[in-house]
Every structure is written in structure tokens, then in C-alpha cells.
């Protein structure tokens, strides 16, 4: 998964404006920090999405 797809998925589920705020401020235990921090640390978009998917309790089809 590319980072652009990660952002598209976040935008779809949280809304374009709020997804950026959420990614910057919401700590995810599975990542040990925020989405923005995970991206900056070089974690894969697929790994980040899995943590987001779990945190948002999205349906299996969205994984």
C-alpha cells in the first residue's frame, strides 16, 4: 500500500479535514504514537493502516 492510499482511506473514514488532525494527535498503542509519527519513522503504510483499522473498529472488508 502506498502512502497516498493510506491517506485516501483515512479521508474516507474520518473526513478529509479531520483525518489530518486525527493522524497528528491520536496516539495508537499498536504504533507507539501517532500516524504522523509512524510515517516519519518510516513504518509501512500497510502496518499503519492495520493499526488505524483496529483503532477505528472498522469492518473486516475494510482491512
Q: Report the pLDDT value the prediction gives residue 63, as an integer from 0 to 100.
A: 84
Contact (Cβ atoms closer than 8 angstroms) between residue 31 and residue 48: yes
Q: Report the pLDDT value the prediction gives residue 62, as an integer from 0 to 100.
A: 84
Divide the 63 residues of the chain into consecutive groups of 10 and give the mean pLDDT of each group. 96 96 96 97 97 94 85
Q: Report the pLDDT value the prediction gives residue 35, as an integer from 0 to 100.
A: 98
DSSP 5-57: HHHHHHHHHH-HHHHHHHHHH--BTTTTB-HHHHHHTT--HHHHHHHHHHHHT
Check: pTM over 0.95? Answer yes or no: no
Amino acid at each position: 500500500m502506498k502512502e497516498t492510499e493510506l491517506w485516501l482511506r483515512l479521508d474516507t473514514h474520518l473526513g478529509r479535514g479531520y483525518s489530518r488532525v486525527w493522524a497528528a494527535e491520536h496516539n495508537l498503542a499498536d504504533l507507539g504514537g501517532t500516524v504522523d509519527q509512524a510515517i516519519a519513522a518510516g513504518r509501512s503504510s500497510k502496518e499503519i493502516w492495520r493499526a488505524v483499522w483496529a483503532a477505528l473498529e472498522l469492518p473486516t472488508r475494510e482491512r
